């Protein structure tokens, strides 16, 4: 940081840190960006990408499959739902109480 690089690459900087340190790192990253640094950040945390990034690229097998603003990406979520049907007799006893019967509309 001493020579003020124009581009800083951070590879999952908050993985494995506690909440307090994560928040401090987020503040530091935002400050670096405000002072003119371009930050390239890799993360598996959607919350982190939403909080820190102007644009997000998603990779699959090493290739970019989508690159857009967080707002556009979140706005394009189609809202698909997945419904699972499980037989209560195959569930562990602790989960059987959570089973929804067909009478309840599911």
> Tens digit of pLDDT for each residue in 16-50?
999 999 999 999 999 999 999 999 999 988 888 88
What pLDDT digit, counting tens, does each position of 79-102 carry? 777 777 766 667 777 777 776 665
Hey, CA dihedral for 32, 35, 37, 42, is it positive or negative?
positive
Cross-strand pairs, 60? 63
Average pLDDT over residues 61-80: 84
The enclosing domain of 69 has a CATH number of 3.40.50.300
Q: Is residue 14 part of a domain?
A: yes
What's residue 41's pLDDT? 93
* Count of domains observed in the chain: 1
Q: Is residue 17 part of a domain?
A: yes
d(C-alpha 41, C-alpha 12), whole Å: 7
| Residue span of the structural domain in which 40 resides | 1-77
Q: Is residue 97 part of a domain?
A: no
d(C-alpha 29, C-alpha 37), whole Å: 9
């Amino acid at each position: 940081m001493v020579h003020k690089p124009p581009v800083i690459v951070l590879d999952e900087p908050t993985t494995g840190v506690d909440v307090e340190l994560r928040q401090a790192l987020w503040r530091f990253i935002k400050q670096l960006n405000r002072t003119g640094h371009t930050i390239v950040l890799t993360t598996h945390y959607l919350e982190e990408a939403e909080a820190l990034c102007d644009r997000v690229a998603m990779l699959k097998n090493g290739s970019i499959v989508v690159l857009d603003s967080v707002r556009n990406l979140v706005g394009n979520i189609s809202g698909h739902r997945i419904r699972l049907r499980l037989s209560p007799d195959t569930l562990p006893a602790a989960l059987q109480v959570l089973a929804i019967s067909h009478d309840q509309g599911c």
